[in-house]
Structure formats: C-alpha cells, structure tokens
Amino acid sequence: MTAKRPTTSRRRTGAAKSSGTGGSRPTRAAGAAPAVRRATAKTAAPAARKSAKAKPTLRDVVLGALNEIKAVNVKALDVRGLTDITDTMVVASGNSDRHVKSIAERVTQRCKEAGFRPYGIEGERDGEWVLLDLHDIVLHVMLPRVREFYALEKLWENGAAA
C-alpha cells in the first residue's frame, strides 16, 4: 500500500496559523479586497495555446496537402471577379495517373480532417484529370500533357494570381 501525501492548503482564511514565534504571515483585514494573483507561465499558457490553435483556412489546407504530396507546378488563381462558381481555382500536375489520384485523395483527406467537406470529385477513376470541388476552391489535378492541352491558366488569365 502506498503512503498518502498529507494535503496542505495554501489558502489561509481568518487568523493566520502561527507557531507562537510571531513569524506568521499577516492576515487580511475584514472586508479587505483579496490580493490580485499575478499571471504566471502556467496560467498564461492556456490562453496562448488557444490563440495558437486557430483553425487553418481552406486555402492553407489545400496548398499544404499539395506541397506535402509533391504536386508539380501548383498555381492558385483568384477568379472572384470572373465567375460566381468559386473564389479560387488551383491547378496542379502529377507525374503519373497514380500520382494524380493520390494528390486528389490526400487533399480530400486533409480537408476532411480540417473540417471542410468536399462537394464533389470527378475523374478519379481515369486519373488524367481530377476535379475536386471544395466550394470556395476548385482544384484541378492533371497530367502535364492534359494540362498543356486545356491550358486552364490561359483561360482564366484575367484573374490575378492568388
């Protein structure tokens, strides 16, 4: 059986407990306001952690996932003034059809983990061009030859690069 630690209370109420030597702390006068506690590293840390854990934006999640899985030639286009269907179009390339599928799956996975629900995915089966609709962002992941053929960047070039 383990020995229990004696519990001590640091908070003193009423008269201070004294050992009779006169070395006790002064007591609070009746009706006086309690002393203000100073913030220490332990009490200030939870507030700092809450602000540091801010929810990432959808754009940060998408671009982070593309970087993580090594998507090639990633471009984010701000199309807010050109269309009402989305705010940003992201165009990226993969090295093979398997890589294109993996990129789309990773972005979908990271978005779900961050709390963003994808509205639709098209082209996953073939893997030449996968479109991922995330409402505020539409992601196009293509093979380089397909990207060159359709030239989406030229189609939306009036929009400034985001």
Q: Sort strands 88-93 and 120-122 into parallel, antiparallel or unpaired.
A: unpaired
How many Å apart are CA 125 and CA 54, to the nearest integer? 35
Q: What percentage of the chain carries pLDDT values higher than 90?
A: 51
Can you tell me whether residue 29 is helix, strand or coil? coil
- pLDDT on residue 103: 95
The CATH number of 58-155 is 3.30.460.10
The whole-angstrom separation of Cα 162 and Cα 155 is 15
**Shortest CA distance to 130 belongs to which of 71, 70, 88?**
71
> Within 10 A of 110 (CB to CB), how many other CB atoms are there?
18
Q: What is the pLDDT along the chain (162 residues), one digit of tens a residue?
A: 555 655 555 555 554 444 455 555 555 556 555 555 555 555 555 555 555 578 889 999 999 999 999 999 999 999 888 888 999 999 999 999 999 999 999 999 999 999 999 999 999 898 899 999 998 999 999 999 999 999 998 888 765 555
Contact in structure between 78 and 161 (CB atoms under 8 Å)? yes
- Is this structure's pTM higher than 0.85? no
Quick: pLDDT tens for 54-95: 888 999 999 999 999 999 999 999 988 888 899 999 999 999
